Amino acid sequence: MSEQGTHELPSGWLPPAAPEPPAERPSAFGEPRRPWWRRAGGGLLATLVVIGAKLKAILLLLPKIKVLTTSGSMLVSVAAYALIWGWKFAVGFVVLLFIHEMGHVIALRREGVEASAPLFIPFLGAVVWAKSLGGNALAEARVGLAGPILGTIGSAACLPIAAATGSDLWQALAFTGFFLNLFNLLPVTPLDGGRAMAALAPWMWFVGLGAIVALAFAFPNPIILIIAIVGAFDVYKRWTSRRRGGEEARAYYDVRPRDRALVGLVYLTLIVVLVLGMDATHLERDIPS
């Protein structure tokens, strides 16, 4: 038999045991080296923690960054809008936003609430920071309606300039201002109309929310979608708080009939004036075929 033939195994022979897995390679410090995926995961987690800490610090510093002051954020907004409409219209548009927001600031300070100067956010408008909107629903309505009131006056101020100069720019600014103030009167928070409804008829929040949702479907737009989402959460929170908040909540929404009628009168008058203003300043555009 050649050397390549088969051989019998010795009696009692067993295959050798499977080799034990090699021990983890020690690190430079003599400790077992962790698997690569654990090392990568730990490094990623540490990186996320550092990034989170940096973001938190940045958010805390935002109010103190000079570029985000009123004048700085106005300039940023003008630059952003100028890319679409040109710098002249952009300046006028931002000024109209400023006038509207100053209505809220003035009303808040009249209510004894400390309010920040307006902060402008390109393509989202502007905001005013305050700890509250007043001590009750009537004060909230006054604060909410003050923006459209002053904003309507600012928009109307463009009309004599447009008549004197014959410039379509001023007429277009007036129309845009009327439209924005009218849109803000939709009866849903966080819009100004929702603030008025706190004193007038809180159940109207659901009507306004339905209108915003319908607009989001009919005219898909990121801003309208954001308002719809924020409005849905805010309406649910406020309605629940109003129903279950006890005596304190009832006191907040307790408005005398005379004051409720006055809020309703101002609200409806604003709507009529703004609709008429839009009709008077509408410009026909020639759309190329």
Q: What is the pLDDT of residues 14-61, one digit of tens each?
A: 344 444 444 444 544 454 555 544 544 455 455 545 545 554 554 455
Give a yes or no: residue 114 inside a domain: no
Q: How many CB atoms lie within 10 A of CB 232?
A: 14
DSSP 64: G
Clarify whether residues 226 and 143 are in a common domain: yes
Confidence at 126, pLDDT banded by 50, 70, 90:
confident
Give a yes or no: residue 146 inside a domain: yes
Token duo for residue 5: 């033939």
State the pLDDT at residue 45: 52
Mean pLDDT along residues 149-156: 97
Report whether pLDDT(97) > 90. yes
Q: How many CB atoms lie within 10 A of CB 170?
A: 22
Phi, psi of 32 (to 5 degrees): -60, 140
State the pLDDT at residue 243: 82
Give a yes or no: residue 111 inside a domain: no
The pTM of the whole model exceeds 0.75: no
Among 12, 44, 64, the domain-final residue is 64
Clarify whether residues 38 and 157 are in a common domain: no
Mean pLDDT along residues 61-73: 61
Mean pLDDT along residues 233-262: 89
Q: How far is CA 274 from CA 131, 143, 226, 248, 261, in A?
A: 30, 19, 24, 36, 20
State the pLDDT at residue 68: 53
Give a yes or no: residue 12 inside a domain: no
Mean pLDDT along residues 190-206: 93
Give a yes or no: residue 4 inside a domain: no
State the pLDDT at residue 136: 92
Give a yes or no: residue 190 inside a domain: yes
State the pLDDT at residue 122: 86
Expressed as residue numbers, the domain containing 53 is 29-64
Report whether pLDDT(137) > 80. yes
Number of folded domains in the chain?
A: 2
Clarify whether residues 177 and 54 are in a common domain: no
Q: What is the pLDDT of residues 214-236, one digit of tens each?
A: 998 888 888 888 889 999 999 99
Confidence at 147, pLDDT banded by 50, 70, 90:
very high
Which residue type sits at 190? P
